[in-house]
Amino acid sequence: MSTTLPLGRVGERVKRVDGIPKTNGEFAYSSDLFAAGMLWGHTLRSPHSHARIVEIDLADALTSPGVHAVLTHEDVPGQKRYGLEFPDQPVLALDRVRYFGEPVALIAAEHPEQARRAAERIRVAYEPLEPLVDPERALEQEPLHDERWTHGHGYRDDPRPNVVRHLVIRHGDPDAEGAVSVSGVYELGIQDQAFLGPESGLAVPDGEGGVDIYVATQWLHVDRDQVAPCLGLPPERVRIHLAGVGGAFGGREDLSMQIHSALLALHTERPVKMVYNREESFVGHVHRHPARIWAEHRADADGRLVSVRMRILLDGGAYASSSTAVTSNAASFACGPYAVANALIESTCVYSNNPPCGAMRGFGAVQTCFASEAQMDKLADALGLDPVELRLRNALAPGDVLPTGQRIDGSLPVAEVIRRAAALPVPELEPLPREAIRLPGGAGNTTRGEGVRRGVGFAVGFKNIAYSEGFDDYCAARVRLREDGSAEVHCAAAEVGQGVTNVILQVARTELATDDVVLAPHTTASVDSSGSASASRMTWMAAGAVQLACRAALEERERTGGEVDVERIYRHVRTSPLDPETGQTTGERSHVAFACAAMRVVAEVDVELGLTRVVWIGTAQDVGAAVNPQAVEGQIEGGTAQGLGLALMEEIQTQGGLITNASFTDYLIPTALDMPPVESVLIEDPEPSAPYGVKGVGEPPTVVSTAAVVAALRDATGRELTRVPVRPDDIVGL
Amino acid sequence: MKIELTVNGEQREADVWEGESLLFALREKLGLPGSKNACEQGECGSCSVLLDGTLVCACLVLAAQADGHDVVTVEGLGATGEPHPVQEAFVEAGAVQCGFCTPGLVVATVDLLAHSPQPSEDEIREALSGNLCRCTGYAKIFDAVRLAAQ
Ligand code: FES
Ligand code: FES
């Protein structure tokens, strides 16, 4: 599928090129694929959160109707383990399962129902083991892994069992005394990405021992680099192609069915399609880390922060995924976008038998923003200062130094976003009586408004853009310029819904000064890696790569005439690791750049029934330069909804490590009735080191909105509300 | 078993297993993957179709129940060369991101506007509250409905 683009250059409000096909069913998602003679794959998963596997008996399953293959770890021809950063996760369980839903065996059959029935006929003898489910006790329990997978990667050497990463950031004199001190303990539940399109894809054997995998993912090349060794194949014999992606939000950074479908396809020599249902999707990807955070903030009598001390405990679940980076991100942004001379931040992530956690929009910064902004409100209260004024007095600015020792040298308009968000007029109180739909409890008709109180909350958050701590982060683009002036662009940047396809085309049109540009299919087969559609980096990185390749193509044509075809790699500024003992940057910087957002929320709370209604949200966000303002607003509105979800309703619940609410009936995400209008102001303060001055925009709204929504609930109820999601019981005080 | 039904104005036949949903039959047997499967429990609205003119979740209807009935899917509303005004409004308003919810929302919006050509804000929210969208936060979807109503 090639895409012809409508008019639109960098900075213009343009329609999505994939828009119309997505409205009429023509756009093919990874679950829509079909190949002649294809089989359906299915995964048998562990019903235990921790158990030893004594025996697996496949005999009955193998003779089940329609079955073509039943595979276990013995059928994995190459490496038995994989992982985004550390290969600690078995492709199929070896002798032990460590989380509920861990894959144990695979089946390929002619009909998906036949595959499911055959799975029921596999007999696995488990010996259940005591699950490790309390992260506070993880460091004294038997190690869940025989090897220390994350050891030896430049992190602090922590010999305690079950440590994924332990990081201490020590800056200035953390014992410095202030005129006032406030402290609190905060907690966040496990949030799910809940992308609407479940994990799915199609693996097609090429007849020569290699395989083509069509899948919804965030990073094609890193998938290939994990899949190929497990199949025992060189990377070029595994080609990964992007199929339509039904949302991602971090949940598609790790592999799901990629290796599994390829194993089945190579084994049966038939195309194999796998599609998770919603229940399986809840165990089929990593989640946002649940956290417990202990914080103490000290300030002088004028409200200037003197020191911040914070201890962060993240539950990483059974496998490492990207937990080491989440650990340091949580720590890096623990103090919020404020200048603090003295800080002691300790961030620890542990292994457990709870659901594995990894990347989700906001990546560690969501958790600490929730704690840190609650602390700022407490501080304002203790000092008798207006919360907005307190934040302005401490706002970080270019030239200031972060607790990691990094000086901010790019754009970071914290005071500006605070002022602009605070200046947005709050809607007037709607008179009573009103339609039930406009009251907390909504169509449930639970109140006429007697117990309803209104509250206004404010929060500020910030986060890094792109990969940090010395990671070699790059993006490739290839441009073919034909003699007739038309161009074809290749870039593997995953279109996950954020609109990077439009970004690529807008940049190419701008650079080549022609409308005649098409984007070739996203694949590992024709272009080098783009890096991940993660960390608010893809727009920046793809714009950089396409700009470089277009300019090189024009130069080349100038020199040679005729058709040219060039590929270029774009890298952002280099970053350095954090010192393993002090958490200080070992070079000029450990993060590339930052983006911030401020948000004001009006909520109504029925303090007798514990029900809430968010009435209005106003936000000002630092966006660098908007490539497509309509898409930027869409990111802000959508990102805000996910943060509101964590504040009010979203939590994966577990018992002994078993997920008890793996459905949209029991895991609630915001609906059209839950979302208020979101008024957004885009602050364009170009980032000097980025192409066109762009910044990533996807994460800041999610970072700040959980904190801002809960601040409004606190204002309405007068309660501390230290845990999200806030439950009706917490509001009523049960 | 064999079923016969009208799909998007065409007489169609399919060989289905008794347990198959209308959604599975549309997607896997009739070559119409436009209706999406995001929950199979009637919670998300991604599979919305019109069955004899009534908005239903195709995942909750057995294929066998549709035997002899009339089904309109998102593919039947408009194609790329000739989009339905509601489809155009969704793109114009920026209501499409990943788009997985979009077919269901387009069908639900067509149904809403058929019953209430000028819906109020509250009516729009209520009518679309059975359609989950994880990407947009709904604001631009409401814009799209208002745009289509003009
Ligand atoms: S798939 Fe039918 S309602 Fe979700
Ligand atoms: S656009 Fe992605 S779910 Fe709605």
Write out residues 44-63 of B within 8 Å (CB-CB) of A. 44, 46
Asked if pLDDT for residue A101 goes beyond 80, the answer is yes
**pLDDT score for A2:** 41
Q: What domains sit in chain B, N to C, each tagged with a CATH number?
A: 2-73 (3.10.20.30), 85-149 (1.10.150.120)
**pLDDT score for A3:** 43
Given B43, B97, B103, which is nearest A25 (Cβ)?
A: B103
Fold of A33-129+195-248+252-284: Aldehyde Oxidoreductase; domain 3 (3.90.1170)
List, in order, residues 6 or more apart from A555 with CB less than 8 Å away: none
**pLDDT score for A27:** 98
Give chain B's mean pLDDT: 97
Residue A438: band (very low, low, confident or very high) from pLDDT cuts 50, 70, 90: very high
Residue A244, amino acid: G
Question: A16-73 pLDDT, tens per residue?
Answer: 999 999 999 999 999 999 999 999 999 999 999 999 999 999 999 999 999 999 999 9
| Cut 0.95: pTM above it | yes
d(CA A55, CA A53): 6
User: How far is C-alpha A35 from the geometric centre of its chain's CA atoms?
Assistant: 32
Q: Which is nearest to A593 in space by CA: A418, A404, A419, A462?
A: A462
Question: A271-304 pLDDT, tens per residue?
Answer: 999 999 999 999 999 999 999 999 999 999 999 9
Question: A229-280 pLDDT, tens per residue?
Answer: 999 999 999 999 999 999 999 999 999 999 999 999 999 999 999 999 999 9
d(CA A300, ligand 2 centre) in Å: 47
Q: Which one-letter DSSP state was computed for residue A94?
A: -
Q: How far is CA A532 from CA A29, A506, A510, in A?
A: 19, 20, 24
Closest approach of A205 to chain B, Cα-based (Å) = 21
Pocket probe mutation, ligand 1, options B43, B61, B101, B102, max atoms within 8 Å of Cβ: B43
* % chain A with pLDDT above 90: 97
Residue A434: band (very low, low, confident or very high) from pLDDT cuts 50, 70, 90: very high
Question: A173-185 pLDDT, tens per residue?
Answer: 999 999 999 999 9
**pLDDT score for A443:** 81
- Yes or no, beta carbons of B122 and A29 under 8 Å apart: no
d(CA A253, ligand 2 centre) in Å: 18
ipTM of this complex prediction, to 2 decimal places: 0.98
Q: Which is nearest to B109 in space by CA: B140, B81, B134?
A: B140
**pLDDT score for A734:** 85
- Top CATH class of A404-464+593-732 equals alpha beta
Asked if pLDDT for residue A655 goes beyond 60, the answer is yes
| A33-129+195-248+252-284 and A404-464+593-732 in the same fold | no
Given A23, A496, A638, which is nearest B87 (Cβ)?
A: A23
Mean pLDDT of A100-110: 98
C-beta separation of A672 from B128 below 8 A = yes
Which chain A positions have a beta carbon within 8 Å of B135's beta carbon? 196, 247, 497, 634, 638
C-beta separation of A328 from A345 below 8 A = no
Mutate to test the interface with B, among A3, A14, A17, A22 (most CBs of B within 10 A): A22
A1 contacts chain B (CB < 8 A):
no
3-state SS, residue A718: coil
Give chain A's mean pLDDT: 97
B102 contacts chain A (CB < 8 A):
yes
- What number does CATH give the domain A19-26+474-571? 3.30.365.10
d(CA B141, ligand 2 centre) in Å: 10
B80 contacts chain A (CB < 8 A):
yes
Domain residue extents for chain A? 19-26+474-571, 33-129+195-248+252-284, 404-464+593-732
Q: Could you give the residue ranges of the DSSP H alpha helices within A591-668?
A: 629-648
Question: B18-27 pLDDT, tens per residue?
Answer: 999 999 999 9
**pLDDT score for A5:** 40
Q: Nearest chain A Cα to B139, which residue?
A: A677
C-beta separation of B45 from B102 below 8 A = no
Closest approach of A632 to chain B, Cα-based (Å) = 10
**pLDDT score for A7:** 61
Q: Nearest chain A Cα to B33, which residue?
A: A32
H or E stretch at A96: strand A96-97
Asked if pLDDT for residue A316 goes beyond 50, the answer is yes
Mean pLDDT of A121-146: 98
Q: Is B100 in the pocket of ligand 2 (CB under 6 A)?
A: yes
Look-up: residue for tokens 């000092």? Answer: A383
- What is the length of chain A? 734
A672 contacts chain B (CB < 8 A):
yes
Mean pLDDT of A454-472: 97
* % chain A with pLDDT above 70: 99
Closest approach of B150 to chain A, Cα-based (Å) = 19
Mutate to test the interface with A, among B135, B136, B145 (most CBs of A within 10 A): B135
Question: A393-424 pLDDT, tens per residue?
Answer: 999 999 999 999 999 999 999 999 999 999 99
Q: Nearest chain B Cα to A195, which residue?
A: B134
List, in order, residues 6 or more apart from A291 with CB less than 8 Å away: A186, A187, A188, A312, A313, A314, A315, A330, A367
B136 contacts chain A (CB < 8 A):
yes
Which chain B positions have a beta carbon within 8 Å of A677's beta carbon? 139
Asked if pLDDT for residue A4 goes beyond 60, the answer is no
A2 contacts chain B (CB < 8 A):
no
**pLDDT score for A1:** 37
Q: Whose CA is nearest to atom 3 of ligand 2?
A: B133
